[in-house]
Amino acid sequence: MKNSRCRMHGGKSTGPKQPDKLKGIQNALGNKGRLITGEYETITWERLEDWEREHIRQYYGLKSDAQVKEPFEMEFVRQARMLQRMNEWDKDVNNNFGRLLQLEDAMTRVSGNVLKMIVLSIV
């Protein structure tokens, strides 16, 4: 509305006031609030773990201040993280069976996306 007030409720939202709800907002930063499989996790150079950066730098033979902005590489990092989750959950299959199925489906979709990227880069 023109006066910056909600026409249904009469006022602006001030956000949650309860401490347990505020914690949920902080956990959601960086697309981690609902991270189950990692299929939609935001992966950029700045968000990589130190060991992931070092591995990529060694693989590409980069200097310590250089970075890779190759979309394929970020998808490979996504797949590596998903496989790491799968290995962790595989230790307790009985309690994580549903999550493992979700993760397997997500891995298939991510692999399909990588394949599409490869095809589009050739054409």
Q: For 11-37, what is the mean pLDDT?
A: 58
C-alpha closest to that of 40 among 103, 117, 99, 92: 103
Cβ-based neighbour number of residue 78 at 10 Å: 22
Higher pLDDT, residue 121 or 11: 121
- For the whole prediction, is pTM greater than 0.85? no
Asked whether the beta carbons of 82 and 103 are under 8 A apart, the reply is yes
Would you state the structure tokens that stand for residue 49, as one six-digit string?
């773990």
C-alpha–C-alpha distance, residues 90 and 106, integer Å: 16
Asked whether the beta carbons of 53 and 65 are under 8 A apart, the reply is no
The DSSP string of 15-42 is ---SHHHHHHHHHHGGGTTT-SS-TT--
pLDDT tens for 88-101 read: 989 998 998 988 99
Asked whether the beta carbons of 16 and 22 are under 8 A apart, the reply is yes
The confidence band for 59, taking pLDDT boundaries of 50, 70 and 90, is confident
Instruction: Give the pLDDT score at 108.
Output: 93
